[in-house]
Amino acid sequence: KKDIPAVNFIIHEIHCSRNIEVCRYCSESIPKSEMKDHIESEHVQVICKCRMKMENGLLKDHEASACPLRPALCQYCDIPLTFDKLQEHEVYCGARTETCGGCGRNVLLKDLKEHPRVCG
């Protein structure tokens, strides 16, 4: 997408009408010779492991940031879980205790980061 000098516009327009096509799904300008590959790689419907149906071009972002089955690590024990199980696990895991080396008290794992401020 750039400015075309007026002198070259007619030649440019002819070239584009012969060689370029606008994708009916995403409105991108694609060379006609690549349109089939573009549709197959970007717009074919696929099913994620979470059973959600979407265009192939959206799958990578979905798996990285929105899929409930994407991998996640517990902040307390670093066990790998799926994102949909993470919150329930962290509530349980953060309620475990560890003995403080400074004051000897049992401290909840979820409070360990703040404990040094109040440690006797």
Q: Are residues 37 and 49 in the same domain?
A: no
Residue ranges with strand state E in the chain: 20-22, 29-31, 45-47, 53-55, 71-73, 80-82, 97-99, 106-108
Q: Count the domains in the chain.
A: 3
The predicted pLDDT at position 3 comes to 79
Distance from C-alpha of 60 to C-alpha of 116, rounded to nearest angstrom: 41
The verdict on 30 and 50 lying in the same domain is no
**pTM, two decimal places:** 0.64
**DSSP string of 35-52?**
HHHHIIIIISEEE-TTS-
Q: Are residues 31 and 49 in the same domain?
A: no
Is residue 31 located within the same domain as residue 52?
A: no
Q: What residue numbers bound the domain in which 30 lies?
A: 1-41
pLDDT of 6: 81
Q: What is the pLDDT along the chain (120 residues), one digit of tens a residue?
A: 677 778 888 888 888 889 999 999 999 999 999 999 999 888 999 999 999 999 999 999 999 999 999 999 999 999 999 999 999 999 999 999 999 988 999 999 999 999 998 886
